[in-house]
Structure 1
Amino acid sequence: MKSESIHKYSQKILNTSNTNQNNLINSNHHHSSNDVRNVMLYGIPIVSLLMDGQERLCLAQISNTLLKNFSYNEIHNRRVALGITCVQCTPVQLELLRRAGAMPVSSRRCGMITKREAERLCKSFLAETEPPKLPETFSFDVYHSCAWGCRGSFTPSRYNSSRF
């Protein structure tokens, strides 16, 4: 099973590491800082790690799966607008993400966000929302400053297509 081998690999890394950042941090769920888990997000399994007591998901994996139809800039700008903080993982955690298949071997870093933040970000892109409707009587005055100086009123409800 892939998750068992990842867990064994994470334990091996922990046993050979002397740095404090790689020590186990236990939570109520007995989920250590270097345990790799899969979390379901909009029906897609996303890799998660426990970081500073919070379960965090791989933003790159979310971007490459759930948000693949949106550009890096769109995702970044929306994340910033929503006030979502991205935390960089440690080199050991990055290696775990690579082994779990969440990140390519060539990756040098990975941003992680909480599950709640991931849900908010994905919802902002994927939620089916109706565009706001204008009142039937809504209109605005128009003026064209060509030689004839045409004036008039534009009423969007009179048009049934986005092609004017």
Structure 2
Amino acid sequence: MALCRSPGTICGSDLPSELPKSPFDMFLFRFELSILPDTVEAYKKESAKEAARPRLRRRCPRPPRPPPVLHLPAIQPPPPVLPGPFFMPSDRSTERCETVLEGETISCFVVGGEKRLCLPQILNSVLRDFSLQQINSVCDELHIYCSRCTADQLEILKVMGILPFSAPSCGLITKTDAERLCNALLYGGAYPPPCKKELAASLALGLELSERSVRVYHECFGKCKGLLVPELYSSPSAACIQCLDCRLMYPPHKFVVHSHKALENRTCHWGFDSANWRAYILLSQDYTGKEEQARLGRCLDDVKEKFDYGNKYKRRVPRSFVSL
């Protein structure tokens, strides 16, 4: 058994079984023996370094992640589509009816929900004392415009004998504008006769101090305040309301057209009828006490119920008597 020398040397078992015989082979053999320890030592160091290095583990490829899911809020249903404006064909009614204007019966047609009066008939009856120049001037001031009747409407007026058969056309004016026009021409320049201030003040003070008088107002064509004296309302055309501006007395259907302030000339008026004065005359807001409001409200209702032959006015039921 061969003995080993110190570490770094070659043991006898490591030597080849046959030694070289020639001098050159011996030289190579000795050279290999001289460098063999260094080679072994270098191999050990390299092996130690290789063992000390961290080994990279080969990871298995992961499957690709799915794209992130965005949690959006619930989709709200779209707002309902609003319908467009509802266009109706112009009202070309040919049904003739009649209305009363300043005590005169006037033929008219209901167009667009409002009566349209025959203008030539108004000029020849209600406004017969005024010239066309005066009438046109007031129409321009109040911004009143008239429409032209259709061929069918014109034919009906001719057949009824309202217009001559030679009339080429006919103008129509709304009931609202007819009321404004007639009021401006017939009563626009009416003022109380000149008198002493003391007399006028005493007359107004006497009416205001009366226990039976009621302060009222309306909001038609510029608004107006007045003093209602129920005792004077003895007939449908009785003057029972005094204007607090000019101190003139007017019947109810004339008071709702009367005004001294802004005449609302550039306002489009529709559906006015002085015959509905019961809906236009209101109790003054100067009364603040509940008992006073209730008492005077009943007094005003009594006046509105008088001469109401069509029973159009309905008395307001107090809130305390309204059934829930």
Normalised by the length of structure 2, the TM-score is 0.30
Mapped pair 1:106 → 2:155: no
Instruction: Quote the Cα distance in structure 1 between the aligned partners of 2:147 and 2:167.
Output: 16
How much does 1:132 deviate? Answer: 9.0
Q: Distance in 1 between matches of 2:167 and 2:103?
A: 25
Q: Which amino acid aligns with 1:34?
A: T
Rg (Cα) greater in structure: 2
Report if the CA contact (8 A) 1:78-1:121 is conserved: yes
1:53-105 superposed Cα distances (whole Å, 9 cap, x missing partner): 43100111101111111111211221121111101011111111222333222
- Correspondence for 1:45: 105
1:129 aligns with 2:129: no
> In the alignment, is residue 79 of structure 1 matched against residue 144 of structure 2?
no
> Which secondary structure state, in structure 2, belongs to the residue aligned with residue 47 of structure 1?
strand
- One-letter code of the match for 2:114? Q
Shift of 1:51: 2.3
**TM-aligned CA distance change 1:106 to 1:131, over 3 Å:** farther
Match of 1:70 among 114, 130, 137: 130
Gaps of 5+ in 1: 1-19, 26-31, 137-164
1:131, distance to aligned residue in structure 2 (A)? 7.0
Structure 2's unaligned 5+ residue stretches are 1-88, 198-324
1:90 pairs with 2:189: no
Seen in structure 2, the aligned counterparts of structure 1 residues 100 and 76 have a Cα distance that, compared at 3 Å, is farther
In 1, Cα distance between equivalents of 2:159 and 2:192 = 42
- The count of corresponding residues between Structure 1 and Structure 2 is 108
2:120 equivalent to 1:60: yes
User: Hey, what's the Cα distance between the residues in 2 that align with 1:99 and 1:80?
Assistant: 32
Q: 2:94 matched to which residue of 1?
A: 34
Q: Secondary structure at the match of 2:169?
A: coil
Quote the Cα distance in structure 2 between the aligned partners of 1:117 and 1:131: 26
The question of whether the paired residues in 2 share the 8 Å contact of 1:89 and 1:112 is answered with yes
What's the offset of the Cα at 1:125? Answer: 1.2
> How far apart, in 2, do the equivalents of 1:97 and 1:51 lie?
15
SS in 1 for 2:167: coil
Asked if 2 retains the 8 angstrom alpha-carbon contact of 1:36 and 1:100, the reply is: no
SS in structure 1 of the partner of residue 136 of structure 2: helix
> What is the TM-score normalised by the length of structure 1?
0.58
Q: Is the 1:41–1:119 contact (alpha carbons within 8 Å) kept by the matching residues of 2?
A: yes
**Structure 2 counterpart SS, 1:33:** coil
* More relative contact order, 1 or 2 (CA 8 Å, 6+ apart): 1
